[in-house]
Chain A
Amino acid sequence: MTEFQRLSLHVPEPAVRPGGTPDFSNVSIAKAGAVARPPVDSAPEDIRDLAYSIIRVLNREGEAVGPWAGFLSDDELLTGLRHMMKLRTFDARMLMAQRQGKTSFYMQHLGEEAVSCAFRKALRNGDMNFPTYRQAGLLIADDYPMEEMMNQIFSNESDPLRGRQLPVMYSSREHGFFTISGNLSTQYVQAVGWAMASAIKNDTKIAAAWIGDGSTAESDFHSALVFASTYKAPVILNIVNNQWAISTFQGIARGGSGTFAARGLGFGIPALRVDGNDYLAVHAVSLWAAERARRNLGPTLIEYVTYRVGAHSTSDDPSAYRPKTESEAWPLGDPVLRLKKHLIAKGAWSESRHVQAEAEILDEVLDAQKRAEAHGTLHAGGKPSVRDIFDGVYADMPAHIRRQRQEAGY
């Protein structure tokens, strides 16, 4: 009677589930050095292919190759390595602290260290990030004191945020780190607004927006693209594609589109994909986008292709939804090991210096932790005062809140 078959709903599924064998052979990865580096003032339609390929600098041998190589000195690379190692050590210690009941919650970066650490080096003082919870590397790479980060994580008496925010939801205007919201994606469009303001005031500062692959499904992501595109805001629109949004694989948010970067194309925003585990590539691409923004050429969208090796947060058990060995099968390797290999290949680093650096960094982190813990942890020692609950809801405390503070005994 009808020429059509009955309809059926398509629900995307990841290739493998626990018990299966991870297989990333379908992930097409350009050879290091193979992708062109167009001039920053290229028209978006001329560089469409950059939204579908993957820009890579470090090859398997640890050499830096191709047009995106050569933007960092050995010293800068060594600093970058140190930042990533610091972030990794910091994470390991804080994860342990959470397990020991010193805080309620923690989110680590394992496998994603290159993204935020390398990006920070493309920014200047005064630029502003609008981060989510997996960009602590922006602070580490800007030498924000680890002790302060820990004070925040422990919600202790020295917590700069007075015990108000969840752990890892840092805030530092001075270090270009906008206060983190628990509600996903809201910051994305705010970053565009900040960048528009900088342009309105004929300033020279630029903004960077951060979002995870899963969160690109939120309307705020799309609103941000509309505004950035319409006003050519000086903003870098970052998407960290770490393959997973809690238990949900990236295909649920991406749907039929080829890549997350390709989302920018419909808005006329130049879009690039980059190997997120390649410190050099991340830095080079960030620098390219930052230059575009600074030259008033408008927004750039960057998709960082990476893998979330750790759990989503301390409340998550990834073995319930993906094979345990999936991270080992991830074809882009480990960002720390790759940069280390590169530096060793260049003769700027050695195994023994690496071991020594690991020990130094651990000492540094432990020292910060000791100092932070002296100010208390979530359930022991110094705490922010109950008084602090009532401060700062408004600039001036209205009478009704003052009454409530008194009722609470403060």
Chain B
Amino acid sequence: MARMTMIEAVRSAMDVSMERDDDVVVFGEDVGYFGGVFRCTQGLQAKYGKTRCFDAPISESGIVGTAIGMAAYGLKPCVEIQFADYMYPAYDQITQEAARIRYRSNGDFTCPIVLRMPTGGGIFGGQTHSQSPEALFTHVCGLKVVVPSNPYDAKGLLIASIEDPDPVIFLEPKRLYNGPFDGHHEKPVTPWSKHDLGEVPEGHFSIPIGKAEIRKPGSAVTVIAYGTMVHVALAAAEETGVDAEVIDLRSLLPLDLDTIVQSVNKTGRCVVVHEATLTSGFGAEVAALVQQHCFYHLEAPIVRVTGWDTPYPHAQEWDYFPGPARVGRALVDVMGA
């Protein structure tokens, strides 16, 4: 075991995977010599050579398209898109190609690629460095969508993603790269080294894709979150004193419906939290499922706490970011309903 930041955990997952399997290759913008703008791939080129870890031209559709071709050959590309905001030029390759190759070729060709992308706000990144595009992926059949909320999960889930036979979109909340973030931007972030989930096995291990984790048991209300919002939800529960059960989805597609349903049937209340905009966001999917499966147990309407239906502003990002105050208000409201 070692104490790792999420950056180190992500790097370690690639390292372990490249070591075990010669077919794993890593590429993307600035990932080679420099080790990526967030340093997630630092040292990999030195260790595995420049044909297994290399810089790509600034061409996201080129990056994803070639990754698909490599996968068709038999490699397992684990690709970095510098920021999730920059996957749009590759959206066609991701959604019409990677996601469908297995289906349309009846299994003749497959696409075991991983697309890692930093997501989310809280770093003064403005509208093009802060986006949370998960719903754009969960709407696409054939993809898997994973969002870790801590270093331990990041490593285990990334290894599982690399070993997965299908394309996985691996969204890394950059606000969590160096420590858990509870939504209090004015407080310094405590580093992962002071946190249990910063304790990560150095060797190979994996966490199954499609399994949620209960971060905090509770009986009054279920809070469903993922990524950065897991920490915000925990802070909100603590600050309001509401006995909330906090579920960390970890994987949005496939979704661990059983854990959700069991919890909401127990608590009778449900709050869904995400950073992405409200309208047609992933929370809508969760709310519809909860409504369908838990209707007779619900004691209050399902509530969503999310980013606003606007682009992500630069100066007012803390008013955009759903912090513990907004989540806490929702908790108190559903308890009173």
Q: Which residues of A contact B (CB under 8 A)?
A: 8-9, 11, 13, 17, 104-105, 155-156, 159, 162-167, 169, 181-185, 214-215, 217-220, 245-248, 252-253, 255, 315-316, 320-321, 378, 383-384, 386, 388-390, 393, 400-401, 404, 408
Contacts of B278 in A (CB 8 A): 400, 404
- Whether B310 contacts A408 by the Cβ 8 Å rule is no
Query: Chain A residues near B314 (CB, 8 Å)?
Result: 104, 155, 163-167
Residues of chain B from 156 to 203 with CB closer than 8 A to chain A in the complex: none
Chain A nearest CB, measured from B81 CB (Å): 12
Sampled A-B contacts (29; CB under 8 Å): A9-B51, A11-B32, A17-B33, A104-B314, A156-B315, A163-B316, A164-B314, A165-B126, A165-B314, A166-B127, A182-B85, A182-B126, A182-B129, A183-B86, A184-B58, A185-B58, A185-B89, A217-B58, A219-B61, A247-B30, A247-B33, A248-B34, A253-B58, A383-B315, A386-B319, A389-B316, A389-B320, A408-B308, A408-B319
Please, how many angstroms separate the alpha-carbon atoms of A17 and B34 in the complex? 11
Quick one: which of A8, A11, A390 has the most chain B CB within 10 A?
A11
Per-residue contact bits, chain B 221-241, to A (CB 8 Å; 1 contact, 0 not): 000000000000000000000
Which residues in chain B, 299-332, are within 8 Å of chain A measured between CB atoms? 308-311, 313-316, 319-320
For A218, list chain B residues within 8 Å (CB). 58-60, 89
- Whether the pair B310, A246 counts as a contact (CB closer than 8 A) is no
Query: What would 10 more interface pairs be, CB under 8 Å, given A11-B54, A166-B126, A320-B34?
Result: A155-B315, A156-B315, A165-B126, A184-B58, A219-B61, A219-B89, A247-B33, A248-B29, A321-B34, A384-B315
Complex CA–CA separation, A378 to B62 (angstroms): 37
Q: Are B127 and A247 in contact (CB under 8 A)?
A: no
Q: Mark B50-64, 1 if CB is under 8 A from A, else 0.
A: 110011111111100
Query: Is B2 in contact with chain A by the CB < 8 A criterion?
Result: no
Whether A389 contacts B59 by the Cβ 8 Å rule is: no
**Residues in B neighbouring A169, C-beta threshold 8 A:** 126
Listed from nearest, the 4 A-B pairs whose CB atoms lie closest are: A182-B128, A163-B315, A247-B34, A217-B57
Q: A404–B308 contact, CB under 8 A? A: yes
- Judged by a CB distance under 8 angstroms, whether B295 is at the interface is no
Contact B315 A8 (CB under 8 A): no
Q: Which one, B56, B57, B319, contacts A389 given CB within 8 A? A: B319
The reply to whether B86 and A252 form a contact with Cβ atoms under 8 Å apart is no
CB contacts (< 8 Å) of B103 on chain A: these are none
Chain A minimum-CB-distance residue to B86: A183
Tell me the bound Cα distance from A166 to B313 in angstroms.
8
- Closest A residue to B51 by beta carbon equals A9
CB distance from A387 to the nearest CB of B (A): 9
| Residue of A214, A215, A217, A388 ringed by the most chain B CB atoms within 10 A | A217
Which residues does chain B contribute within 8 Å of A183, judged by CB atoms?
A: 85-86, 88-89, 128
Which residues in B have their C-beta under 8 angstroms from that of A393?
Answer: 309-311
B85 touches A164 (CB 8 A): no
Residue contact A315 to B37, C-beta cutoff 8 Å: yes
Interface centre among B50, B125, B308, B311 (most CB of A within 10 A): B308
Known: A11-B50, A219-B59. A400 touches B311 (CB 8 A): no
In Å, the complex CA distance between A159 and B85 comes to: 24
Do A246 and B309 touch (CB < 8 A)? no
Alpha-carbon gap, A248 to B57, bound state (A): 8
Given contacts A182-B127, A253-B57, contact A378 B315 (CB under 8 A): yes
Contact flags (1/0) for B108-148 with A, using CB distance below 8 Å? 00000000000000001111110000000000000000000
C-alpha gap A383/B319 in the complex (Å): 12
Q: How near does chain B come to A250, taking the closest CB pair, in angstroms?
A: 10
Residues of B within 8 A of A184 (CB): 58, 86
Given the complex, which residues of A lie within 8 Å of B259, measured CB to CB?
none
B315 proximity list for chain A (CB < 8 A): 155-156, 159, 162-164, 378, 383-384
Partner of A246, one of B29, B59, B60, B311: B29
Q: Closest CB-CB distance, B243 to chain A, in whole Å?
A: 25
Task: Contacts A166-B314, A183-B85 given; indicate if A404 touches B309 (C-beta within 8 A).
Answer: yes
Chain A hits for B61, CB < 8 A: 219
Identify the closest chain B residue to A391 (Cβ). B310
Residues of A within 8 A of B96 (CB): none
Complex Cα spacing A159 to B124, Å: 16
B316 is contacted by which of A8, A255, A388 (Cβ under 8 Å)?
Answer: A388
By a CB distance below 8 angstroms, the chain A residues around B219 are none
Q: Whole-angstrom distance between the alpha carbons of A167 and B37 in the complex? A: 19
**Which chain B residues border A248 with CB–CB below 8 Å?**
29-30, 34, 55, 58
Decide: A13 and B50 in contact? CB cutoff 8 A. Answer: yes
Our pick among A159, A214, A246 for the contact of B37 (Cβ within 8 Å) is: A246
